[in-house]
Amino acid sequence: MFSQASTFGRPRHNALMYQQVGVETSVVAASPHTLTLMLYDGLLTQIKLARQALVEGRVADKGRHIGRASQILDEGLRSALDLQGGGDLALNLRDVYDYAQVRLLLANRHNDDAALKEVLGLIEPLREAWVAIGMNVPG
Protein backbone atom coordinates (compact mmCIF):
# COMPACT_ATOMS: atom_id res chain seq x y z
CA MET A 1 0.00 0.00 0.00
CA PHE A 2 2.86 2.43 0.82
CA SER A 3 6.13 2.66 -1.05
CA GLN A 4 9.46 2.06 0.61
CA ALA A 5 10.12 5.80 0.48
CA SER A 6 7.10 6.55 2.67
CA THR A 7 7.76 7.93 6.12
CA PHE A 8 4.54 6.40 7.45
CA GLY A 9 5.34 4.34 10.49
CA ARG A 10 8.59 6.19 11.17
CA PRO A 11 7.56 8.50 14.03
CA ARG A 12 11.12 9.53 14.92
CA HIS A 13 11.82 10.63 11.36
CA ASN A 14 8.51 12.49 11.21
CA ALA A 15 9.18 14.19 14.53
CA LEU A 16 12.61 15.34 13.32
CA MET A 17 11.09 16.70 10.11
CA TYR A 18 8.42 18.54 12.12
CA GLN A 19 11.07 19.96 14.45
CA GLN A 20 13.14 21.16 11.46
CA VAL A 21 10.13 22.94 9.97
CA GLY A 22 9.51 24.56 13.34
CA VAL A 23 13.09 25.79 13.55
CA GLU A 24 13.01 27.14 9.99
CA THR A 25 9.72 28.93 10.67
CA SER A 26 11.16 30.47 13.84
CA VAL A 27 14.21 31.72 11.92
CA VAL A 28 12.15 33.29 9.14
CA ALA A 29 9.90 35.09 11.62
CA ALA A 30 12.65 36.18 14.03
CA SER A 31 14.03 39.67 14.47
CA PRO A 32 17.79 40.21 14.06
CA HIS A 33 18.06 40.36 17.85
CA THR A 34 16.25 37.06 18.25
CA LEU A 35 18.37 35.44 15.54
CA THR A 36 21.53 36.38 17.40
CA LEU A 37 20.07 35.00 20.61
CA MET A 38 19.28 31.75 18.77
CA LEU A 39 22.91 31.59 17.60
CA TYR A 40 24.18 32.07 21.14
CA ASP A 41 21.80 29.39 22.40
CA GLY A 42 22.84 26.99 19.65
CA LEU A 43 26.51 27.61 20.34
CA LEU A 44 26.12 26.99 24.06
CA THR A 45 24.07 23.86 23.43
CA GLN A 46 26.70 22.41 21.08
CA ILE A 47 29.49 23.06 23.58
CA LYS A 48 27.51 21.41 26.38
CA LEU A 49 26.78 18.42 24.15
CA ALA A 50 30.49 18.22 23.26
CA ARG A 51 31.41 18.18 26.95
CA GLN A 52 28.90 15.43 27.63
CA ALA A 53 30.17 13.37 24.70
CA LEU A 54 33.75 13.85 25.90
CA VAL A 55 32.91 12.61 29.39
CA GLU A 56 31.10 9.61 27.92
CA GLY A 57 33.99 8.79 25.58
CA ARG A 58 32.00 9.42 22.41
CA VAL A 59 34.86 11.03 20.51
CA ALA A 60 33.11 11.24 17.14
CA ASP A 61 30.10 12.98 18.71
CA LYS A 62 32.39 15.34 20.58
CA GLY A 63 34.05 16.31 17.31
CA ARG A 64 30.72 16.77 15.55
CA HIS A 65 29.40 19.06 18.29
CA ILE A 66 32.59 21.10 18.40
CA GLY A 67 32.43 21.41 14.61
CA ARG A 68 28.88 22.74 14.83
CA ALA A 69 29.88 25.16 17.59
CA SER A 70 32.76 26.39 15.46
CA GLN A 71 30.45 26.84 12.48
CA ILE A 72 27.98 28.88 14.57
CA LEU A 73 30.83 31.08 15.77
CA ASP A 74 32.26 31.66 12.31
CA GLU A 75 29.29 31.63 9.94
CA GLY A 76 26.74 32.99 12.38
CA LEU A 77 28.07 35.26 15.08
CA ARG A 78 31.37 36.43 13.58
CA SER A 79 30.02 36.99 10.07
CA ALA A 80 27.17 39.12 11.45
CA LEU A 81 29.53 41.64 13.05
CA ASP A 82 29.58 45.11 11.50
CA LEU A 83 33.30 45.78 11.77
CA GLN A 84 33.02 49.12 9.95
CA GLY A 85 30.16 50.65 11.92
CA GLY A 86 30.30 48.61 15.11
CA GLY A 87 33.32 50.36 16.56
CA ASP A 88 35.36 48.86 19.37
CA LEU A 89 32.53 46.62 20.50
CA ALA A 90 32.43 44.77 17.17
CA LEU A 91 36.22 44.49 17.12
CA ASN A 92 36.28 43.16 20.69
CA LEU A 93 33.57 40.61 19.92
CA ARG A 94 35.53 39.50 16.85
CA ASP A 95 38.57 38.95 19.06
CA VAL A 96 36.54 36.96 21.60
CA TYR A 97 35.04 34.81 18.82
CA ASP A 98 38.49 34.25 17.28
CA TYR A 99 39.91 33.22 20.65
CA ALA A 100 36.94 30.92 21.28
CA GLN A 101 37.55 29.30 17.87
CA VAL A 102 41.15 28.55 18.80
CA ARG A 103 40.10 27.10 22.15
CA LEU A 104 37.48 24.90 20.44
CA LEU A 105 40.11 23.64 18.00
CA LEU A 106 42.46 22.77 20.86
CA ALA A 107 39.63 21.21 22.87
CA ASN A 108 38.83 18.96 19.95
CA ARG A 109 42.44 18.03 19.23
CA HIS A 110 43.40 17.34 22.84
CA ASN A 111 40.05 16.23 24.32
CA ASP A 112 40.35 19.20 26.66
CA ASP A 113 37.23 19.74 28.74
CA ALA A 114 38.82 22.76 30.45
CA ALA A 115 38.99 24.54 27.07
CA LEU A 116 35.32 23.79 26.42
CA LYS A 117 34.44 25.08 29.88
CA GLU A 118 36.48 28.21 29.19
CA VAL A 119 34.53 28.90 25.98
CA LEU A 120 31.27 28.48 27.89
CA GLY A 121 32.59 31.03 30.39
CA LEU A 122 33.29 33.46 27.56
CA ILE A 123 30.01 33.06 25.71
CA GLU A 124 27.47 32.77 28.54
CA PRO A 125 28.00 36.37 29.75
CA LEU A 126 27.68 37.61 26.15
CA ARG A 127 24.39 35.77 25.80
CA GLU A 128 23.11 37.22 29.07
CA ALA A 129 24.11 40.72 27.99
CA TRP A 130 22.33 40.16 24.67
CA VAL A 131 19.18 39.12 26.54
CA ALA A 132 19.39 42.28 28.67
CA ILE A 133 19.81 44.43 25.58
CA GLY A 134 16.76 42.77 24.05
CA MET A 135 14.55 44.18 26.75
CA ASN A 136 15.20 47.59 25.20
CA VAL A 137 14.90 46.54 21.53
CA PRO A 138 11.50 47.05 19.91
CA GLY A 139 9.89 44.16 18.01
pLDDT tens per residue across span 63-115: 999 999 999 999 999 999 999 999 999 999 999 999 999 999 999 999 999 99
Q: Are 126 and 76 in contact (CB under 8 A)?
A: no
pLDDT at 53: 98
User: Mapping DSSP to helix (H, G, I), strand (E, B) and coil, where does residue 97 land?
Assistant: helix
Percent of the chain with pLDDT over 70: 77
User: Crossing angle, helix 11-29 and helix 32-55, to 10 degrees?
Assistant: 140
Residue, of 17 and 85, whose pLDDT is higher: 85
CA distance 86 to 79: 13
Q: What's the residue count for the chain?
A: 139
pLDDT tens column, 26-61: 556 688 899 999 999 999 999 999 999 999 999 999
Neighbours of 100 (CB within 10 A): 24
* pTM score, whole prediction: 0.79
